[in-house]
Amino acid sequence: MALELSIKDQNQEVELFVRRAITMFVLVVLMLGLIALRLLELQLWNHDTYKSRSDDNHIRVQTLTPPRGMIYDRYGRLLADNQNAASLALTVEDIDELSNTINLLTDLLQLSKEQRTEIYERVETSRRPDVALVVIDSLSESQVARLAVNRHLLPGIEVVNQLVRFYPFGRVAAHAVGSVRRLTDEDLRDADPVQYSATTFIGKRGVEAYYEQQLHGQVGYQKAETDALGRVRKTFDVQSPTPGKALRLHLDIDLQQAGVVALDGRRGAIVALDPRTGGVLAMVSQPAYDPNIFVAGMTEAVFAELRSSSYVPLFNRATNGQYAPGSTFKPIVGMAGLAYGTTTWEQVIEDRGAFQLPGQERVYRDWSWTKDNSGGQGMVDLRRAIYRSSNTYFYDLASRMPIKDLVRFAGEFGLGTNLALDIPAASDGLLPDPVWKQGAKGLPWYPGDSVNMGIGQGDLLATPLQMAVVAATLANRGGRVSPRMLLETFDSNADSIDATAEFAGRAGEVSHPVTQLGLEKVNAEDWENMVQAMEDVVHLGNQGFRGNGTAWAYIGQDIDYRMAGKSGTAQVVEISQGEEYDEETLSEFDRKHAWFIAFAPVQNPTIALAVLVENGGGGSSVAAPVARAVVDAHMAKQQALAPRAAPSSNRFVAR
């Protein structure tokens, strides 16, 4: 078969090539045109839109935490400070696998199980995944170093510096100053979400809580440029935050420390007031807690121990502990008897150690009663009834006084209500009356209820803060003050605080309203006589058996100033008729409470206080020395300031 040869058509080949070339050229031109159009859209037509989207990828608006205002005592000593701390922060949206990152952090930083759990909890409650979230508040130097070396393995993780709260006096001032806690979702429901967008802690107790708005300050802002790993490379457009206001309190940390030392590890409370202003000079509650652990962090075991302790260190006994005031209530009963004409200073009864209501078998005994000795104070008038603390006298007086009169009079002293201006969580105590008893117990008011109330027992309850107000009212001869913690606020940016002794001396003269009790029947002479009777409690001695003031043997023999006081011993559990109180047979928490109220100096007093020692025993033997230690510290300081401080005034502004 012959081979057929074909000859290519040269013209046809050229034409095919040209068509293909033209087609490719057109496609290239179209593609270049599309690219050009896209470039025009990106660079010209929609430039602003895409620039904004680009910026969002690497420029973020960050909120800046305002420095919390500091808290000082009356002499300018720091009670609540801010300290720099290296903290670990993470930005959730910059982390691909959160669990892997936390596992790596656990290995690098040797985190505990509780810390791991806390990190997850903080991430779950995070409000903004694009904002750096602090998950560990305080890092050690070695932890910071390990993070720096492994930074390339941890996108979205950074070490940031933040100011954290620090309480220099720790447990000593915990219940007076209060403390901060980590911000929760519940807190945010009541707080401004914008102002608290960068805030980690919020005031939860005491002054820190009540003055949260002043202490917090105003949030700031800045723009931050970040890299692909979420690390900040540059900041600009910074609007600095405004620091919170600084607070100066009436509190004197020296008196606070003196109170803690005097209690000597016993459970109890001390509240000392400036009777001229109502300023709280000391507020001690023992045992206490270290507020710094709520900032630095604690294990679940530590927190569980705090909450479950039978000694309740988180409980503020000074403001919320409610106790029968015992014999410290007797000056009120005596003044009420004078006001309503139920007794006089001259009226005398015979105290044989027991009292009975007509037609009743129950015997109400004097504190001096024993099985072998009926006790009693002999022939007693009101003055002797105060300095010897005669139960029988006040049983008799209360039984003859209409209960409505006694309740009304006691209410004028602030019992049954919280008079404090900036301690809203303080308890009201209980000032019982027939209406209350019928509603609470479904029972009528019996004569025996009045008898018990005459010596500060029964259903009557008061807080140490309220009894300090009672002491201040007696010191002022009927001028009642409202307790207050705050002395002044000032700008945190101030170059210095006036910490001079002259200021401290003037602080007692700050004008605050003092309420004159609305009891027109009580005259100035009655007030002075009651003060003299309370002065005898401390200073009357060498009077022989059952003649000395009840506190003289314990605090009155070497005192170089004049103090007025009243001891009290409040029964916790009922002792059966005919049975003698035996402390050794009772559990620790069933023993009597020890009270002492006092003020000094007697003329122009500058301090009034109430001391409670829980289950401590005798008021004169146990609580009075505690009061003496605090007043000694105060008087020594007053003497040191005397040449520079303006003279005090005992005049009051009625409202």
pLDDT tens per residue across span 539-554: 999 887 788 999 999 9
What is the DSSP code (8-state) at residue 172?
Answer: G
Output the six-digit token pair for 517.
């009790």
In a domain, 505, yes or no: yes
18 falls within a domain: no
247, 278, 305: which is the final residue of a domain? Answer: 247
- 361 and 489, same domain (yes or no): yes
Inter-residue contact 104 to 154 (CB < 8 Å): yes
- Reading the block at residue 276, the tokens are 């001229």
Looking at the structure, tell me whether residues 108 and 238 fall in a common domain.
yes
Angle between helices 524-539 and 330-339 (to 10 degrees): 150
pLDDT of residue 549: 94
If asked whether residues 366 and 487 sit together in one domain, one would say: yes
- Identify which has the larger pLDDT, 382 or 239: 382
Same domain, 469 and 560: yes
Is residue 235 located within the same domain as residue 281?
A: no
pLDDT digits (tens, 9 = 90+) for 465-506: 999 999 999 999 999 999 999 999 988 766 556 655 555 555
Q: Is residue 542 part of a domain?
A: yes
- Closest Cα partner for 269 from 314, 317, 312? 317
397 vs 412: CA distance, rounded Å: 19
- Amino acid present at 74: R
Of 190, 217, 247, the residue that ends a domain is 247
Read off the CATH number of the domain in which 409 is found. Answer: 3.40.710.10
Under the banding of pLDDT at 50, 70 and 90, the label for residue 245 is very high
Residue 534 domain-assigned (yes or no):
yes
For the ranges 18-22, 29-33, 117-121, 563-567, the maximum mean pLDDT occurs at: 563-567
Q: How confident is the model at residue 514 (pLDDT cuts 50, 70, 90)?
A: low
Side-chain half-sphere CA neighbours of 121 within 13 A: 11
Q: Give the β-pairing of 220-226 and 486-490.
A: unpaired
Backbone angles phi, psi at 62, to 5 degrees: -110, 140
* The pLDDT of residue 430 is above 80: yes
594 and 457 co-located in one domain: yes
Confidence bin at 600 (pLDDT 50/70/90): very high
β pairing state of 78-90 and 157-166 = antiparallel
The answer to whether residue 629 sits within a structural domain is yes
Task: Rounding to the nearest 10 degrees, give the CA dihedral for residues 253, 172, 67, 207.
Answer: -80
* Nearest one of 642, 640, 644, 650 to 254, comparing CA atoms: 640
| CA separation for the pair 201, 179 (Å, rounded) | 10
Q: Same domain for 343 and 283?
A: yes
Contact 278, 520 (CB under 8 A): no
Provide the domain count of the chain: 2
| 394 falls within a domain | yes
Integer Cα distance of 654 and 478 in angstroms: 11
Do residues 169 and 259 make contact, with C-beta atoms less than 8 angstroms apart? no
Q: Cis omega (within 30 of 0) on the bond before 193?
A: no
**Cα(306)–Cα(284) distance, integer angstroms:** 18
What value does the mean pLDDT take over residues 141-156?
A: 83
Residues 264 and 198 in one domain: no
234 domain residue, yes or no: yes
Tens of pLDDT, residue by residue over 190-220, are 888 778 777 778 899 999 999 999 999 888 8
Q: Could you tell me the end-to-end alpha-carbon distance of the chain, in angstroms, rounded to an integer?
A: 137
Q: 45-55 burial string, b = 16+ CB within 10 Å, else e?
A: eeeeeeeeeee
In 3-state terms, what secondary structure has residue 162?
strand
CA distance 410 to 416: 8
Residue 652 belongs to some domain of the structure:
no
CATH number of the domain that residue 196 is part of: 3.90.1310.10
Query: Does the structure show a pLDDT above 90 at 137?
Result: no
Based on the fold, state whether residues 356 and 482 are members of the same structural domain.
yes
On whether the CB atoms of residues 167 and 179 are closer than 8 A, the answer is yes
Residue 147 banded pLDDT, cuts 50, 70, 90: confident
Mean per-residue pLDDT for 375-389? 92
- 297's CB contacts (< 8 A; 6+ apart) are 115, 118, 137, 138
Q: Which helix (H) or strand (E) holds 284?
A: strand 280-286
Is the pTM higher than 0.95? The answer reads no
The reply to whether 371 and 458 lie within a common domain is yes
Most confident by average pLDDT, 51-55, 124-128, 307-311, 461-465: 461-465
Asked if 75 and 183 sit in the same domain, the reply is: yes
**Domain finish residue from 247, 280, 295:** 247
Q: Which tokens hold the place of 101?
A: 């990152």
Mean pLDDT along residues 359-371: 78
Q: Which pLDDT does position 252 carry in this prediction?
A: 97
Task: State mean pLDDT over 507-535.
Answer: 76
Catalytic residues, which ones?
327
Asked if pLDDT for residue 53 goes beyond 70, the answer is no
pLDDT at residue 273 is higher than 70: yes
Q: Given this model, what pLDDT does residue 648 score?
A: 43
Whether 192 and 302 map to the same domain: the answer is no
The angle subtended at Cα 288 by Cα 484 and Cα 199, nearest 5°, is 70
Highest mean pLDDT among 24-28, 353-357, 603-607, 645-649: 603-607
User: What one-character-per-residue DSSP string does 415-447 give?
Assistant: TTS---SS-TT----B---HHHHHHHHS-PPPH
> Which range marks the domain in which residue 82 is found?
61-247
Q: What does each C-alpha distance from 69 to 10, 79, 431 come to in angstroms?
A: 94, 11, 39
Query: Residues 585, 591, 592, 596: is their CA dihedral positive or negative?
Result: positive
pLDDT at 580: 53
Whether 497 and 76 have beta carbons less than 8 Å apart is answered as yes
pLDDT given at position 98: 80
Phi, psi for 354 (deg, rounded to 5): -155, 160
